[in-house]
């Protein structure tokens, strides 16, 4: 098929990560394209096939719409890697992430885009109304605890930390693209990256349906990754919020232990001093990390202000594909 006509700069790049989604990929592409065509959005759809072993790539190639393109990974690298590949290839002013398993209301993409543009914010997340995944007895409380931890560490209210449906400004998203992990926690990462750096994030309630096909989510492994990623991201962007409570806790523990030992035996123990000094040095380390982060942000603002930053990529032929 020939190159699609896009006119001026694209409004929206839709990045769809797909792995063995032959059951529903064609239907989802129809939903996305029909909705965006009706809304008269100037867009492209980039399907990133993450090493599928079924007919997903063939179905995408055969899909007859000039704005749909296929990018292929030679092997399965994870949904985070697929979203990263698609975002780097995107040329729209805004980037939309979503899934292609019929769980998200992809017919509402233009609504999320309009919300972002009308309110002049940086990211809009589709906040799901329910949890439809497997092993709900484990996932629901685990996700609730992780979300509350993220709310505390970022000092914001987060209705949905790891929704797979969101739209954000591409120029801002590219600043944090190298932080994206390979797996599902990439959505958590992009949320926290925006929040921790003062970018405006808002949430729009959406329905969440039972997925079509087999889930690729691994409850125990991926829950562990979510927890470590929340801690890692906040430590990266707001180190004092992690180091300071640990430091104060160790200092207080050392003082209490020393006081008890003085009262009982009339002398302090070496471990009391070790705990107290450990807390002191953790606090110093947090201050150094905080200064480093502030310097890094100043450097980032300088780099992003350069005229060469954020040049547009070359047009990608529709329904062509590249391998990674």
Contacting residues for 72 by C-beta, under 8 A, at least 6 apart: 48, 49, 51, 57, 321, 322, 323, 324
Residue ranges per structural domain of the chain: 12-237, 239-304
User: How many C-alpha atoms does 56 have within 13 Å on its Cβ side?
Assistant: 26
Tell me what pLDDT residue 243 has. Answer: 87
Question: Where is pLDDT greater, at 152 or 216?
Answer: 152
Among 140-144, 155-159, 170-174, 227-231, the minimum mean pLDDT is found in 227-231
Tell me what pLDDT residue 312 has. Answer: 44
Rounded mean pLDDT of 119-148? 78
Specify whether the CB–CB gap between 109 and 98 falls below 8 A.
yes
Specify whether the CB–CB gap between 15 and 83 falls below 8 A.
yes
Q: How far apart are the two ends of the chain, measured CA to CA in Å?
A: 22
Tell me what pLDDT residue 240 has. Answer: 83
User: Binning pLDDT at 50, 70 and 90, where does residue 311 land?
Assistant: low
Tokens at 119, concatenated: 């309110």
User: Binning pLDDT at 50, 70 and 90, where does residue 196 land?
Assistant: confident
- Which residue do the tokens 């629901």 mark? 140
- Determine the Cα–Cα distance for residues 41 and 124; give it in Å rounded to an integer: 17
CATH class of 12-237: alpha beta
Digit-coded pLDDT (tens) for 17-59: 999 999 999 999 999 999 999 999 999 999 999 999 999 999 9
Specify whether the CB–CB gap between 76 and 14 falls below 8 A.
no
pTM: 0.77
């Amino acid at each position: 098929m020939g190159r699609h006509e896009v006119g001026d700069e694209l409004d929206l790049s839709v990045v769809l990560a797909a792995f063995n989604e032959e059951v529903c990929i064609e239907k989802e592409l129809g939903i996305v394209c029909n909705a965006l065509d009706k809304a008269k959005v100037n867009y492209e759809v980039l399907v990133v096939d993450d090493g599928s072993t079924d007919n997903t790539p063939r179905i995408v190639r055969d899909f007859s719409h000039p704005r749909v393109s296929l990018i292929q990974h030679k092997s399965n690298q994870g949904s985070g890697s697929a979203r990263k590949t698609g975002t780097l290839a995107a040329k729209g002013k805004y980037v939309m992430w979503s899934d292609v398993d019929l769980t998200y209301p992809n017919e509402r993409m233009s609504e999320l885009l309009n919300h972002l543009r009308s309110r002049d914010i940086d990211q809009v997340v589709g906040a799901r109304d329910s949890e439809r995944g497997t092993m709900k007895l484990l996932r629901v409380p685990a996700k609730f605890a992780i979300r509350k931890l993220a709310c505390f560490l970022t000092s914001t209210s987060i209705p949905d930390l790891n929704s797979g449906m969101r739209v954000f400004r591409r120029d801002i998203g590219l600043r944090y693209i190298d932080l994206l992990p390979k797996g599902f926690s990439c959505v958590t990462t992009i949320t926290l990256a925006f929040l921790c750096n003062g970018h405006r994030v808002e949430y729009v309630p959406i329905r969440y349906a039972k997925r079509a096909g087999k889930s690729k989510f691994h409850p125990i492994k991926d829950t562990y990754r979510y927890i470590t990623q929340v801690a890692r991201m906040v430590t990266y962007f707001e180190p004092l919020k992690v180091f300071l409570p640990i430091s104060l806790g160790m200092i207080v523990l050392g003082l209490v232990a020393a006081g008890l030992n003085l009262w009982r035996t009339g002398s302090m123990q070496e471990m009391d001093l070790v705990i107290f000094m450990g807390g002191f040095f953790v606090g110093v380390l947090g201050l150094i990390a905080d200064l480093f982060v502030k310097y890094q942000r100043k450097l980032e603002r300088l780099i992003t202000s350069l005229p060469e930053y954020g040049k547009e990529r070359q047009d990608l032929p529709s329904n062509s594909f590249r391998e990674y």
